[in-house]
């Protein structure tokens, strides 16, 4: 059974995954699925994906992150882990026991929020509270006409969908917006393991910064220069403080190509770096110092064997950024 404790942590104790991944003034490390090298093809082979997920959990990585990519859009260049994220989350929940399972992120305007609320609560229950639900407004315009949906008003539909999901997890539920009416005599089941699944908003999601600070349980940023990222985080944390609510974590992805030489200095690449393990640890400490609470490493462009890379990361980097184990 997964339990969690808020001891020595200013973040809320929302569920087991949130407590494992997010600790105030600390950084933890996760991985982006698929755990595979596929630099020249947008569609991964999904080879050994379960074995590598189990290895990641055994080595102590805090979380595994999936993406919501309904269609392979050639101009986007990455089909993600190809499986529907909720189906895949259910499968991974049965194959693992401790690692947090995250989505970065469900494109809310492309799904009915009742389905999202029920699927997310189901995964959270079946996994023992190990789900983190990233949500976004979507950045691939080609997907919208495929579902006969407008791209221009996705920001407003994102807000309505988030409100619907949060209301559906309550009993009684009260919501009446473009997605439908939930009256007290209707109850969506199951409920999340700990009353709600943490909702992490990605980027701007077509929303005002104050709205994001008020309504999300955390914020997903894109990689930037460290000084610029620090300024953005400082301003956002001030907005969170202004709401009068609890502190909220910040996370970001990072593409890496781990060099065989642990002392190899960083060389910039798309949304990340080619780097040795020692300098990677230095960079992660710098991100921790500016307020990043979690980094999800993406190995798509990693040229050394994935299993060997995970072992090196676990030996040289992970001990400096431990997650809180479930007990």
Secondary structure of residue 244 in the 3-state scheme: coil
Read off the pLDDT of each residue in 173-189 and give the average, rounded to a whole number: 91
Query: pLDDT at residue 183 above 50?
Result: yes
Beta-sheet strands, E only, within 171-318:
175-177, 180-182, 199-202, 218-220, 250-258, 267-269, 272-275, 294-298
- 111 is written with which tokens? 């799904």
- 3 is written with which tokens? 């339990």
- 13 is written with which tokens? 């104790």
CA-nearest of 221, 312, 309 to 257 is: 309
Radius of gyration of the chain (CA): 19
Q: At what angle do helices 306-316 and 277-289 cross, to 10 degrees?
A: 60
The percentage of residues in the chain with a pLDDT greater than 70, rounded to a whole number, is: 96
Mean of the per-residue pLDDT values of the chain = 94
pLDDT at 326: 53
Cα–Cα distance for residue pair 212/254, rounded to 1 Å = 22
pLDDT at 3: 39
Query: pLDDT at residue 125 above 60?
Result: yes
Is 182:167 a contact under the CB 8 Å cutoff? yes
Query: pLDDT at residue 5 above 50?
Result: no
Please give the distance of CA 63 from its chain centroid, rounded to a whole number.
Answer: 8
pLDDT at 10: 86
Sign of CA pseudo-dihedral 215, 219, 220, 224: positive
Q: What is the pLDDT of residues 13-67, one digit of tens each?
A: 899 999 999 999 999 999 999 999 999 999 999 999 999 999 999 999 999 999 9
pLDDT at 174: 87
Query: pLDDT at residue 206 above 80?
Result: yes
Secondary structure of residue 133 in the 3-state scheme: strand
pTM: predicted TM-score of the whole model, two decimal places: 0.94
Q: Please give the backbone phi and psi of residue 158, each rounded to the nearest 5 degrees, phi first.
A: -60, -45
The percentage of residues in the chain with a pLDDT greater than 90, rounded to a whole number, is: 90
Q: What is the pLDDT of residues 158-172, one digit of tens each?
A: 999 999 999 999 988
Cα–Cα distance for residue pair 110/157, rounded to 1 Å = 9
Cα-based angle 112, 95, 292 (whole degrees, multiple of 5) = 65
Q: What is the pLDDT of residues 302-323, one digit of tens each?
A: 999 999 999 999 999 999 999 8
pLDDT at 238: 96
Strands 250-258 and 218-220: parallel
Give the model's confidence band at 184: pLDDT under 50 very low, under 70 low, under 90 confident, else very high. confident
């Amino acid at each position: 059974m997964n339990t969690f404790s808020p001891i020595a942590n200013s973040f809320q104790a929302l569920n087991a995954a949130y407590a494992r991944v997010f600790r105030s003034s600390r950084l933890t490390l996760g991985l982006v699925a698929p755990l595979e090298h596929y630099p020249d093809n947008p569609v991964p082979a999904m080879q050994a994906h379960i074995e590598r997920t189990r290895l990641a959990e055994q080595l102590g990585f805090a979380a595994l992150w999936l993406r919501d990519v309904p269609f392979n859009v050639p101009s986007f260049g990455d089909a993600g882990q190809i499986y529907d994220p909720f189906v895949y989350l259910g499968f991974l929940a049965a194959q693992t026991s401790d690692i947090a399972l995250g989505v970065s992120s469900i494109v809310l305007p492309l799904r009915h929020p009742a389905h999202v609320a029920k699927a997310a609560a189901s995964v959270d229950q079946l996994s023992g509270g190990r789900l983190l639900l990233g949500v976004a407004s979507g950045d691939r315009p080609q997907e919208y006409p495929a579902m006969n949906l407008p791209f221009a008003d996705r920001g407003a539909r994102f807000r309505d969908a988030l409100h619907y999901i949060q209301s559906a997890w309550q009993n009684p539920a009260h919501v009446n917006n473009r997605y439908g009416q939930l009256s007290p005599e209707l109850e969506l089941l199951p409920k999340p393991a700990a009353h709600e699944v943490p909702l992490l908003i990605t980027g701007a999601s077509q929303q005002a910064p104050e709205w994001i600070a008020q309504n999300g349980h955390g914020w997903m940023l894109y990689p930037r220069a460290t000084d610029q990222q620090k300024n953005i985080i400082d301003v956002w944390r001030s907005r969170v403080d202004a709401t009068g609510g609890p502190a909220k974590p910040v996370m970001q992805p990072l593409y890496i190509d781990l060099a065989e030489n642990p002392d190899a200095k960083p060389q910039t690449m798309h949304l990340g770096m080619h780097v040795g393990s020692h300098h990677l640890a230095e960079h992660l400490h710098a991100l921790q110092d500016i307020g990043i609470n979690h980094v999800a490493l993406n190995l798509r462009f990693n040229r050394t064997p994935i299993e060997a890379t995970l072992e090196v990361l676990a030996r040289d980097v992970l001990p400096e950024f431990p997650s809180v184990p479930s007990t």
